[in-house]
Structure 1
């Protein structure tokens, strides 16, 4: 069970998040100056070897990572706008320097000399050899095989893309939409939704402010009976960042130009070369096959949803005009409530935030033979943030730290994600630098009448994101660039997706799902209904993910850099998700942060990695026990421990004892496997 300590961190690196804009600027200047000095020294080597070229470059990566990661992380969590601005500027400068660094022909020359030296390469162990290979590959994919003019153009493009990405995601974080509604317009929302909510009086009528932040938006889209209320909220969400459309459009053009400079046909071809899927044809085959299978489920689901909306329209004396995107969450939720006699409002009474967090941490401690110790009065960036030490269970062996920042606030990153803010690595003297990770989320806050209560989907999100934390904390690699979640991008979600299954296991739910008032465990009958409802509208819900993946490929697997991102998004969403957009002019892709956050030509990876996650869960944990420490340790050893220091397929096959397949995944969503 998680315990507390009265001191600050006992071991590992204590990171400083209380940075002023001036301190951030100073760190950036020092990192850049030190990096240039080191690169000059390495480039001057007349007899390039692993020890005098690769080791210094890799050591710089290792040792500068914490300052780099913290300095660029605070833009997502700081309450001080000046600090967020400085952090964003720091990321731009540091990314620009890294791009410049990867374009240094003199450094590439000595790296390539090591790579081409069979005597040097034959002496290296697997991770060191992979380090040389990935380092050489990185320089080559950044244009070091090009002529001077093309190389310089590629460097300019990469800098522009970095700047566009930062501006795009900052806009999403800081430009929330909002609408004001009367209580009548929000009929269907529970009483606690209104507690502490900002109001304004318009023409003598009190109206409640609803923002596009997730804790506001999602319950309203699921529960508000008034269709116009849902429509207004979707419009507010999908029109809140108009300036992002030209940024994404420009990024698509630049990515294609960069890929073609490097002799690839499309940006997707360039990206996928390094992934498990390997090429665009494999991705499109995966997406088309999945879409075909899911449509079998979706056909029946749509008939059920249409019947519900037609009945609502008939009761209101209005004509039925189809299913729209603002109907999606509402009627999917209604199906769950009516078919399975279950509601989010009933369920969330059994998921108080404090107990759920404690319970999930306890379960993870048991499965993975770890101990989490909460630090009192920790050095953090906000009073809401908790800090934990991680130790091997029953051993005096420190593992790392993690932070939990779980509630929304102004200017904060507005979804859920995990940042590695210090990679683990091996120092020159053989000692270990301990990893640090931070989970940032936006779960509902406590109200005057109740503690913070989670929807079941929130609890599943918590399980998922803590899976990323475990991946970051439990990995042990020599080089920081391979640490933790630095795997192939279409595998990185698999370990966390696998752990979502624990949110559906009765044995696990009984450990932490308790009524927030009585403390009574969640009733068995309610668990049975939740599990029965798991695949409710699975066809439509998964088609939504297929849409995102196919939109991504539509703008990145093309030789037309001017393909209209806005129109592509709207057209494909209606075709694939099968809900109409309506007549209003919207631009939903302006808030699709993944397209400017490292998932370009990679969003398919969410569904692709689900195949691996389902196989791992069903084949090992479901058979051997979902809280079986022996299985948990096998998983740590095969999947979490190596990070990206070897191909992920090797770890998968080691853990499964065979090659992975999609049978468990298809069964998990209610489809028969071939």
Structure 2
């Protein structure tokens, strides 16, 4: 009898390794994007939360007397894994927001808020930091160390570290709820943008559109399953182009209403009650902290300091802008009448007739610029400007990981060839991408321990070119590219010791200075002559076209300034309100606009139901673009005064005190160190053509 052979045991399948929790061994320790799936984030974040809690607990219960090293440095080093995973998650959630990512974001947003709040309200940890702050003058700290200590102390105080136990409990509830509301708000805006499209069929629907816009609209239609047609979406480059050129007034009205009604539709994407609740919660938080309004609380830790100073700036600009907008409206009305249209100018007419007036007044058709503003050339222009100012070199690396096939990646080197960081560009609109444009970091620079170099990303929403054609930008698109790259340089050039003060981690009304300042170089002859090349012939933009562009620079600035400043004024009114709640958000908006005599032909650049800035990091802070503009106009004048927009000595000071300095010093002091004096408003008024 033959004995039966036992079956060989089945080989055990190896548990899959979560790439977010493993060591990132790829080039420059970049995230392994190709291996990362949405399902990896929950377990990775769970583990990272636990790890960070343990690190904080170790610092808080340390029996040794508080020192800068065992408390502040230890605190700065903690949370490395959480920061690493979170930066990947939030970047992907904004730029490729699939339903899976949105679901995770809704779950994780309140957890992040609760985790941060728990740390900032830890009385043991605050006691150590408070003790160090009391003894700061005797600690013999460097200027940077002292700045970091003072910033952490202020952060804990403003988070509620000195509140009673009952008030701390309420703060935790407020922060968690706000995190949920902000996440839902952003997702609702995206859903409204995704759900609307205007399909154009035939030449009648396309009337007035330049070839470049037609081609991108045809490409969008084909991608959406409408071959042979064209399609306008709510991506800004698509809808604003349509409003500017379409001679179909009825279709302009449809597109305009869809654009301005985002977040204000009854149903699951209605943001009106979300805004009301968020404003009420922020007001309650401010009162817990001893302030009359959230605006007062928020502005305390800014350059502006008080709502009164913000109001003073906004009103000074507003009064001049309204007068100029009235003059512009009269010109538009005359143009409409001369073309046989006796209808009253409405908001959806402004861009269309404005473009006609500009063409007649300056013999300038902005669509004629686009062939000279090809995307690749504008990227080269932004890079070349950085090279001439700061000695940087950009080498495209097609071998490096990226989170989407359309993303491009460059290694950034200094003038000696040493590695500075990684820059990623995500330029095209797609349905899963949040609208707008922004800069973010997958990794921020610091020099603690072994230190780390930055990985910076710019995310934009340009329209793709037609089949086989390059993407051609409007001048506003090109300016946006320069703006976001200015933010990118602020992150790339950062040269600080501590993560908490790295790169763009500066005062909210200072953070826009590097970006808005960088825009100025795009308009210079030095940049346009070299990089504004026709995409077919390679010939430079004709001098006469550049001259017309310069002559028309301040055209329609009344409209642009009213559109922006009204949004800033309503933001301040919303968060300055001392009432417990606002029942009707749109009613509040109407009353606030009536109080400033808003021209009826213009609407806010961002209406409250889709005003993403003031629901997130710019609550009571949208004014900061204008505040920074005072500085950026004054700062660029420093170059102009030398007769050389790339003046080496001025560029060196700009690098030292602004772009590389992070939050090492008070922002006002940083500006004065660069300019030799405080900024003057004159440059802003001149730049916008509002000076007398």
Q: Under a length normalisation based on structure 2, what TM-score does the superposition of the two structures give?
A: 0.89
Residue equivalent to 1:398? 419
Distance 1:408 1:232 in 2: 21
Match of 1:616 among 635, 641, 654: 635
Residue equivalent to 1:379? 401
**Most deviating of 514-523 and 615-624:** 615-624
1:252-651 counterparts in 2 under 5 A? 252-312=279-339, 315-316=340-341, 319-320=342-343, 322-393=344-415, 395-428=416-449, 431-448=450-467, 450-563=469-582, 564-573=584-593, 577-580=598-601, 588-621=607-640, 623-651=642-670
- Specify the SS of the correspondent of 1:328: helix
1:306–1:638: structure 2 CA closer, same or farther, 3 Å change rule? Answer: same
- How much does 1:374 deviate? 0.9
- How much does 1:588 deviate? 3.4
- How much does 1:65 deviate? 2.6
Residue equivalent to 1:146? 163
Could you list the per-position Cα deviations for residues 525-545 of structure 1 after superposition, in whole angstroms to 9, with x for gaps in the alignment?
000000000000212211211
1:648-663 counterparts in 2 under 5 A? 648-663=667-682
Could you list the per-position Cα deviations for residues 12-46 of structure 1 after superposition, in whole angstroms to 9, with x for gaps in the alignment?
43123342233211221122101111121112123
**Most deviating of 542-551 and 48-57:** 48-57
Residue equivalent to 1:226? 248
**Quick one: higher RCO (CA 8 Å, sep 6+), 1 or 2?**
1
Match of 1:213 among 231, 235, 257: 235
Residue equivalent to 2:210? 190
User: In 2, are the aligned partners of 1:61 and 1:481 still within 8 Å (CA)?
Assistant: no
Distance 2:311 2:606 in 1: 24
1:187–1:484: structure 2 CA closer, same or farther, 3 Å change rule? Answer: same
Match of 1:16 among 11, 29, 32: 32
Distance 1:238 1:96 in 2: 34
- The alignment of Structure 1 onto Structure 2 pairs a total of residues equal to 651
Distance 1:540 1:592 in 2: 19
Distance 1:123 1:600 in 2: 37
- How much does 1:63 deviate? 6.0
Please report the RMSD computed on the Cα atoms of aligned residues, expressed in angstroms.
2.4
**Most deviating of 9-18 and 599-608:** 9-18
1:511–1:587: structure 2 CA closer, same or farther, 3 Å change rule? Answer: closer
Distance 1:630 1:248 in 2: 47
**Most deviating of 168-177 and 437-446:** 168-177
Distance 2:379 2:602 in 1: 37
Contiguous gaps of at least 5 residues in structure 2: 1-23, 265-269
Could you list the per-position Cα deviations for residues 220-271 of structure 1 after superposition, in whole angstroms to 9, with x for gaps in the alignment?
1111112221111111122332311111111000000000011100000000
Distance 1:353 1:150 in 2: 52
Could you list the per-position Cα deviations for residues 70-119 of structure 1 after superposition, in whole angstroms to 9, with x for gaps in the alignment?
12211012374324533554444223211222122222122212222346
- Specify the SS of the correspondent of 2:425: strand
Distance 2:70 2:647 in 1: 46
**Most deviating of 639-648 and 524-533:** 639-648
Distance 2:317 2:542 in 1: 36
Could you list the per-position Cα deviations for residues 148-186 of structure 1 after superposition, in whole angstroms to 9, with x for gaps in the alignment?
111111111011111111111122223312233444133
Q: Under a length normalisation based on structure 1, what TM-score does the superposition of the two structures give?
A: 0.92
Match of 1:123 among 140, 143, 154: 140
Residue equivalent to 1:3? none
Distance 1:366 1:624 in 2: 15
1:53-92 counterparts in 2 under 5 A? 53-61=71-79, 64-78=82-96, 80-87=98-105, 89-92=107-110
Residue equivalent to 2:15? none
- Specify the SS of the correspondent of 2:232: strand
